[in-house]
Structure 1
Amino acid sequence: MDEKTRIYEYWLAGISSLSDRKKIWLQTEYKSAEAVYYIEETELCRLDILTEKDRKVLRDRRRETRKNMKETWEKLVQEGIWFLTCFDERYPKRLKKIEDPPYALYGKGRLPDEENLSAAIVGARGCTVYGERLALEYGKILAQNGVAVISGLARGIDGAGQRGALNGGGYTCGVLGCGVDICYPREHIGLYMDIQKAGGLVSEFPPGRKPFSSNFPRRNRIISGLADVVLVMEARKKSGSLITADLALEQGKDVYALPGPVNSPLSEGCNLLIRQGAGILLSPEDLLKELGIQNKRLGKKSDKNEIMLESPENIVYSCLGLYPEGMDQLAAETGLAIPELLRTLVSLQMKGLVTEVSRNYYVKTCCD
């Protein structure tokens, strides 16, 4: 596609008040964005699909000169941001199938491979250690087996799943609720940079668009749209993750949920999904079987932790999991006196096998 065509499409994409449906209709009807730019006034007034506000916006935006349009386009290219519309053959086929596909996408890095399976990993920002560790594990194992991990680069579950994919040497795509030139949240700058090298960042919002709260529910349809299955790791009863799950179901995708404690607010949404018929996430290996993928890691899991541990350490380590346990509970389970239990926990922490997530509450550290 030549630069002139791109410039006019970039111009049309930049009219934020005009819906994606109307942009797609206009370009389909008039064969090109350039033809939309040059619609005559009498013709414009006859288009019932447009409101008076739409017509005014188009009139105002058509005052933009070709020179200004070209300068804006060149700035985009200089920033290393790619741009394509749903009329481009490189546009993701999965997105074309959803009810309300974005007219245009902006990105850095590369898009998911159309031939490979993809899974969205979504969940709470303020997640538990249990949810975070399992998101990391699922992301890693899925990526090691060639499954693209799709998520929103958010705090908590999203970021953990995507970091896991990178740790597994695989591909991950971050779908942003702002321009791709903005890292949000800022503390994920390292992840933001790493994904550009080994995966891709995608947004329907133009560069410079700030992360307004209204952007995020809308971008969720792209997360589910790019995925073949959606994994909800932790979610409250009313959350963006459940919106993504609902969108996935509307798009005909399978949804899986991680079961959690019945008294945890962060597991209410997942447990509700399971009750409604969602698949249950019991282990990454089990999920791979359901997806028809042979696990490349079978037979490679190390038991080095057990070999290295002395008897009291073994007892304590075997009682811990990914959900925090307190001192009293551990003492009851292990039969160890508190002083000996404390010494054992400190030893396990020094070996990197156990983490104290809050005062006197411990979890097993994920290790391969």
Structure 2
Amino acid sequence: MTETERMYAYFICSIPMIGGVRAGQLLSRFGDPQGVYEAGTAGWREILNDSVVEYMDRQKKSGNLEEEYHSLGEKQIGLVLQEEEGFPQKLLEIPDPPYGLFYKGKLPEQKQPSVAVIGARECSEYGRFVAEELGRYLGSQGIQVISGMARGIDGISQQAALLAGGTSYGVLGCGVDICYPSQNRKLYEELIQKGGLLSTYAPGTKALPAYFPPRNRIVSGLADALIVIEARQKSGTLITVDMALEQGKDVYVVPGRITDRLSDGCNRLLTQGAGVFLSPESFTEEFMRNWEEKQELSSPDPAQKIRGRRKSRKRIEKLEEPLRQVYKLLDCVPKSTEIILQEAWKKGEYIDIVTLHRRLMELELMGYVKQNTPGYFGTSAN
């Protein structure tokens, strides 16, 4: 992608209400980022609602796009797009992945295990102790710690990981040039030096309550597993848990006393089947065993890949075109229907959700497709 194309892609990324799915629809309709920019309000209304169109129009008229884009380099802020090398592959597997990510420091290592640690902002001394011990141990074992740089459990675990010589990444609900909360300034600076800060929001975007739930899907999306340390019955932490479960991630919970209101949310998650966190050592042993098994399954040797491609070609030839169109969008790693739709749109193949579900069901009955988790489809090994 040329710098000019990236500049127009920056415009799409600067609209907070546009995620990967909407960006994919716009690009499919107008061809490329510049086409999206030049489509104007009449074109945008074909796909987006009036409030988003009005926001885009204000954004287009209010600033100097070229100047804003080039200021990223001056502020040492990176922008990585879905189709570019370095974009976190884990995020391509979640519902509505971001079209682009802004970052300061580094991006998470693709082939290194990652764990999200989240919990109460107003944590107890017990919660602080567990977060410190966990962050320190994960950092010492080379496991990346992902969190939201918030007060309490998030920031404590991240700081401990860095002190142990590990790496950590903070996902913000504002621009990466803004330190929020302000009292975590020291951690903010250390994350830039020893890990990274990431956001789907353009530089200068202030932290607003509405921006944090979408941010949470990135926290869980970047992680291979999620650990909850203290959460009330009605806690924002539980939003992240819901997103992690939707993404098919393993969730572990630190149990608490039944009289402790800070543990109500955690204890309820345990009754719903979450994994029990007993110690950093026992968790890491189980986590790494599961992680290594997944790596082996997703990384077959070259001979297996060649045999798989040959077998896949023969199977495709037997399918009628409408089913073949969907089958070609799948691989051995399960994808959500949202991701499948997005990839179809990128290729200029419009399929509505009802038709997609019908074709997937037909493929599953024929033995071509397997649904391992509700809503996630991959090619069958048979």
Q: Does the TM-score normalized on the shorter chain lie above 0.5?
A: yes
Q: 2:21 maps to which residue? A: 21
1:237 to 233, 242, 265: 233
Counterpart amino acid of 2:80?
Answer: L
Question: Does residue 160 of the first structure (1) align with residue 149 of the second (2)?
Answer: no
Query: CA distance change for structure 1 residues 13 and 235 in 2, over 3 Å: closer, same or farther?
Result: same
Structural RMSD (CA): 2.1
SS of 2:117 mapped into structure 1: strand
SS of 2:209 mapped into structure 1: coil
Q: In 1, Cα distance between the equivalents of 2:58 and 2:153?
A: 43
Q: 1:98 maps to which residue? A: 94
Cα deviation code 1:308-346 (max 9, x no counterpart): xxxxxxxxxxxxxxxxxxxxxxxxxxxxxxxxxxxxxxx
Cα deviation code 1:214-271 (max 9, x no counterpart): 2112211110000010000110011111111111111000000001111001111111
Counterpart amino acid of 1:22?
Answer: R
Correspondences of 1:180-259 after superposition (within 5 Å): 180-259=176-255
Bigger shift: 275-284 or 55-64? 55-64
Correspondences of 1:39-78 after superposition (within 5 Å): 39=39, 44=43, 48-55=46-53, 68-78=64-74
Correspondences of 1:135-174 after superposition (within 5 Å): 135-174=131-170
Bigger shift: 191-200 or 95-104? 95-104
Query: CA distance change for structure 1 residues 262 and 13 in 2, over 3 Å: closer, same or farther?
Result: same
Q: In 2, Cα distance between the equivalents of 1:239 and 1:40?
A: 40
Question: Does residue 89 of the first structure (1) align with residue 85 of the second (2)?
Answer: yes
SS of 1:38 mapped into structure 2: helix
CA contact (8 A) 1:175 1:201 kept: yes
CA contact (8 A) 1:131 1:233 kept: yes
Post-superposition shift, 1:4? Answer: 0.9
Cα deviation code 1:260-285 (max 9, x no counterpart): 11100111111111111111111111
Cα deviation code 1:153-184 (max 9, x no counterpart): 00110011101110121110000111111111
Bigger shift: 123-132 or 215-224? 215-224
1:80 to 71, 76, 95: 76
Q: 1:113 maps to which residue? A: 109
Q: In 2, Cα distance between the equivalents of 1:14 and 1:222?
A: 17
Post-superposition shift, 1:133? Answer: 1.2
Post-superposition shift, 1:40? Answer: 7.6
Counterpart amino acid of 1:205?
Answer: Y
Post-superposition shift, 1:15? Answer: 2.9
Residue identity (%)? 43
CA contact (8 A) 1:133 1:160 kept: no
2:269 to 273, 291, 306: 273
Correspondences of 1:254-333 after superposition (within 5 Å): 254-292=250-288
Query: CA distance change for structure 1 residues 289 and 4 in 2, over 3 Å: closer, same or farther?
Result: same
Post-superposition shift, 1:206? Answer: 1.1
> Which blocks of at least 5 consecutive residues in structure 2 are unaligned?
291-382
Q: In 2, Cα distance between the equivalents of 1:132 and 1:38?
A: 51
CA contact (8 A) 1:145 1:293 kept: no
SS of 2:39 mapped into structure 1: coil
Q: In 2, Cα distance between the equivalents of 1:59 and 1:293?
A: 50
Query: CA distance change for structure 1 residues 210 and 55 in 2, over 3 Å: closer, same or farther?
Result: closer
Bigger shift: 11-20 or 266-275? 11-20
Q: In 2, Cα distance between the equivalents of 1:227 and 1:18?
A: 23
Q: 1:8 maps to which residue? A: 8
Q: In 1, Cα distance between the equivalents of 2:239 and 2:128?
A: 20
Counterpart amino acid of 2:220?
Answer: S
> Which blocks of at least 5 consecutive residues in structure 1 are unaligned?
295-368
Post-superposition shift, 1:107? Answer: 0.8
SS of 2:79 mapped into structure 1: strand
Q: 2:375 maps to which residue? A: none
Aligned residues: 290
Q: In 1, Cα distance between the equivalents of 2:176 and 2:69?
A: 15
Q: In 2, Cα distance between the equivalents of 1:148 and 1:193?
A: 17
1:175 to 171, 174, 180: 171
Q: Which has the larger radius of gyration?
A: 1
Post-superposition shift, 1:18? Answer: 4.4
Query: CA distance change for structure 1 residues 60 and 275 in 2, over 3 Å: closer, same or farther?
Result: closer
Post-superposition shift, 1:64? Answer: 7.1
Post-superposition shift, 1:38? Answer: 2.9
- Runs of 4 or more above 4 Å deviation: 17-20, 52-65
